[in-house]
Amino acid sequence: MTRSLREVVKEYMSDRRVRKYRLVTKDGRCNIEFGNVMHRNRFAYVLDIWTTFVETRWRFVILHFVASFTLSWFIFGLLWYWIARDHGDLKWQNPPENHTACVYSVNTLTYAFLFSLETQSTIGYGNVYITDVCPGAVALIIIQSLMGTIISCFWCGVVMAKIALPKKRAKTITFSDSAVICPKKGTLCLQIRVANLRKTLMIGSQIYGKLLRTTVTPEGETVILDQVSIDFMVDAGKDNLFFVCPLTLYHVIDKTSPFFDMAVDTLHQQEFELVVFLDGTAESTSSTCQVRTSYIPQEIMWGYDFLPIISRSKEGKYRVDFSNFAKVVPVPTAHCAYCYHNEAGHHHHSIDGIDNQGFEVIDIETPNITKM
């Protein structure tokens, strides 16, 4: 059955509202604005001009690149024109036949600009050259050569720094679009999946999370973006991950976890944002990079588990099936952490069904595979 236009518009506005109010987008960009910044603080961007240019978008870098060279050629062209005019080399000044010009053939503003371009870019076509009758012209050609070298080195450094930015390496590391909550090794866990799309390793990888939410202190103070640390780990620990294949990371939901008081029917009513960080050093460039993503309550699926994606072929090779990277299957799961740990008097009774006090395991003959 096709959805009505009203439902489509409602879903679009809901997705737009979610993107607007989340602090960290799925691709790691921070959605935050700075207001009422003093003018003296804005001037700090000019003082730190190197970082400013490295972080500038490519289109503005190219614009400044073209503008800096063109402007320098034009300014030095005016200086060469002024030297020619001061020495009486221009055509309208009618120099005598035995007159020796400061710069041969520089007798108009156009020729002065062309000589400036040839000098700074070391082209030298041969029909325009400097003579030894003007010491000022000799000093000017030295200054322009040095300035041209400095400008060229600066822009070469900016381009190389932008190409080698660690965040470009972060584009080849991906997280699952959703997180899941299910039992794992005798405890209730929140799980996410992360994959390195390159065969080169991330050395010294560490993963951790921050739960962002608005809280009210006992004194009545409202704290916006209150941060609570969330520990993630794999079976071998949480530090120095062996990131050779996709990993399923999990957070244990125990009494110290902020997810302990949530249940399947109250999770999506919560207002929080789980931001996950992955820090590591690229093996090929030795540059440190950080990958970020975030999950809101609507992106956490209670009672689901990830499908396995690593298998072994008959030849003995390990194979990663990325078609199952974002797929989950329903699994029998207690509807709250209190029920899972059998905490008396703290059960969150579901409004949609009856509590399963005995935790009966339900056999699922044909699992319903869901793609996140």
At 11 the pLDDT is 58
Instruction: Give yes or no for residue 162 having a pLDDT over 50.
Output: yes
Record the tokens describing residue 234, joined without a space: 């794999």
Residue at token pair 């800096």: 68
In angstroms and rounded to an integer, the radius of gyration of the C-alpha atoms of the chain is 33
What's the CA gap between 152 and 69, in Å, rounded?
Answer: 9
- Which architecture does CATH list for 168-341? Sandwich (2.60)
Residue 201 binned pLDDT confidence (cut-offs 50, 70, 90)? confident
Sorting pLDDT into bands at 50, 70 and 90, what band is 200? confident
Element (H, E) at 263: none
What are the domain boundaries of the chain?
A: 54-164, 168-341
Q: Which CATH class is domain 54-164?
A: mainly alpha
Q: What is the DSSP letter of 274?
A: E
The span from the CA of 285 to the CA of 164, in Å, is 8
Name the CA dihedral angle for 339, 340, 343, 347, rounded to a multiple of 10 degrees. -10
Identify whether the C-beta of residue 25 lies closer than 8 Å to the C-beta of residue 19: yes
Please write the tens of the pLDDT for every residue from 295-331.
999 999 999 999 888 888 888 888 888 888 888 999 9
- Residue that the structure tokens 């090794």 belong to: 185
Question: What does the alpha-carbon distance between residue 105 and residue 98 come to, in Å, rounded to a whole number?
Answer: 14
Position 39 scores a pLDDT of: 61
CA–CA distance, 175 with 143 (Å, rounded to integer): 53
Provide the b/e sequence for 52-71 (b: ≥16 CB within 10 Å).
ebbeeeeeebeeebeeebee
How does DSSP assign 164-200, residue by residue?
A: T-HHHHHTTEEE-SSEEEEEETTEEEEEEEEEE-SSS
Rounded to whole angstroms, the Cα distance separating 252 from 231 reads 8
- Rounded CA gap, 96 and 13, in Å? 79
Question: Measuring CA to CA, which residue among 199, 156, 119, 166 is closest to residue 291?
Answer: 166
* pLDDT tens profile 107-145: 888 888 988 998 898 887 777 778 878 888 889 999 999
Sheet containing 304-306: give its strands across: 304-306, 327-330, 370-371
Rounded to whole angstroms, how far apart are CA atoms 89 and 115?
14
Q: Which of 185-189, 296-300, 335-339 has the highest mean pLDDT?
A: 296-300
User: What is d(CA 150, CA 216) in angstroms, rounded to the nearest whole number?
Assistant: 55
Return d(Cα 162, Cα 51) in angstroms, integer. 10
Q: What are 271-289's pLDDT values in tens digits? A: 899 999 988 888 877 888 8
Q: Which residue has the tokens 């899941």?
A: 180
Half-sphere exposure of 87 (CA within 13 A, CB side): 22
- Closest to 49 (Cα-Cα) out of 209, 158, 172, 175: 158
Tokens matching residue 140:
């000017």
Per-residue DSSP letter, 2? P
The mean pLDDT of 80-92, rounded to a whole number, is 84
Mean pLDDT score, 185-189: 86
First CA to last CA distance, the chain:
22
| Integer CA distances (angstroms), 359 to 251, 284, 332, in order | 22, 50, 9
Note the pLDDT of residue 63: 95
Mean pLDDT of the chain: 80
pLDDT of residue 17: 52
What would the pLDDT profile of 214-256 be if each residue is shown by its tens digit? 888 888 888 888 888 999 888 655 666 777 788 888 899 988 8
Given a cut of 60, whether residue 346 has pLDDT beyond it is no
C-alpha–C-alpha distance, residues 349 and 353, integer Å: 8
**What CA–CA distance (Å, rounded) separates 259 from 232?**
13
Q: What is the pLDDT at residue 366? A: 46
* Rounded to 5°, angle at Cα 241 from 239 and 244: 175
Instruction: Tell whether pTM > 0.85.
Output: no
Q: Which two tokens stand for residue 367?
A: 């699992």
